[in-house]
Amino acid sequence: MITLYGVLRSRATRPFWLLREMGVEFRHVPVIQAYRLSDPGAADAPFHTASADFLALNPASQIPVMVDGDLVLTESMAIPLYLARKFGGPLAPATLAEEGEAMQWGFAAITGIEGPALDILYTYANKGQQTPEGQAKLAEKTAALARPLGRIEAHLQGTDWLMGGRFTVADILMAECVRYVQPHAPALAACPKVRDWITRCQARPAFQQMMAERNAEPA
């Protein structure tokens, strides 16, 4: 059985969402980020990313981690791609060409979208949008996202999904980076196709279930 280590207030949402979509049974081991704990070294501290047993799995001290037999994967983009290939079905690439497309969209998400999108998310989380400095940062990151979001917008002309005319792992990988942009409406103002696409993605029951589990976790 697949074992997934992590919490949903992290990039672990990517493999969690895919597993929920596929209906695959898996074991979940909660692992909280050490930086969220006031005293990670306390005797009663929960299992966390600096715990010795976890560091034996991932010396980088990051979640998520997936274990499948002797295989240990520690990257949140690699894990869903592996799971899609392992279990197959309509969410998985159907051909070698689609496998390349799925990797392409995953790489585009983490290289072009995730960095500035997280800056936007953290600016809102820290109430920075209420300050001149925060507004300047939001403007800067919105400009940085114009080209990568524009690429998705152009691709979605005439299709509802990123790959193969159907919802796939590629949509999950990209959607979970674009989600970080959503607090700042101006960043998506010029991309109506992207807005419609992310709405379709997030209307799926598996996403709704995953986010309900996420919201039930301690903030």
The per-residue pLDDT for range 139-186, each reduced to its tens digit, is 999 999 999 999 999 999 999 999 999 999 999 999 999 999 999 999
- The domain tally of the chain equals 2
Residues 199 and 103 in one domain: yes
* Average confidence (pLDDT) over 98-105: 98
Q: How confident is the prediction for the chain on average, in pLDDT?
A: 97
Q: What was the pLDDT predicted at 190?
A: 96
**214 within domain boundaries:** no
Residues 85 and 102 in one domain: no
* Average confidence (pLDDT) over 128-143: 96
Task: List pLDDT tens digits, range 19-49.
Answer: 999 999 999 999 999 999 999 999 999 999 9
Residues 31 and 110 in one domain: no
Three-state SS letters, 91-159: CCCCCHHHHHHHHHHHHHHHHHHHHHHHHHHHHHHCCHHHCHHHHHHHHHHHHHHHHHHHHHHHHCCCC
On the question of pLDDT at 55 being above 90, the answer is yes
> Where among 90, 117, 138 does a domain terminate?
90
Structural domain of residue 105, as residue ranges?
A: 96-204
Distance from C-alpha of 11 to C-alpha of 209, rounded to nearest angstrom? 16
Residues 196 and 135 in one domain: yes
Distance from C-alpha of 74 to C-alpha of 140, rounded to nearest angstrom? 31
Residues 129 and 177 in one domain: yes
**37 within domain boundaries:** yes
Residues 85 and 114 in one domain: no
Phi, psi at residue 86, to the nearest 5°? -65, -45
* Average confidence (pLDDT) over 83-92: 97
Residues 43 and 112 in one domain: no
**210 within domain boundaries:** no
Q: Mark 106-140 as b/e (b = at least 16 C-beta within 10 Å).
A: bebbbebbbebbebbbebbeeebeeeeebeebbee
**211 within domain boundaries:** no
Task: List pLDDT tens digits, range 70-80.
Answer: 999 999 999 99
> What pTM was estimated for this model as a whole?
0.96
Q: What was the pLDDT predicted at 219?
A: 82
> Where among 58, 90, 122 does a domain terminate?
90
Residues 197 and 113 in one domain: yes
- Tokens 């993605």, residue? 201
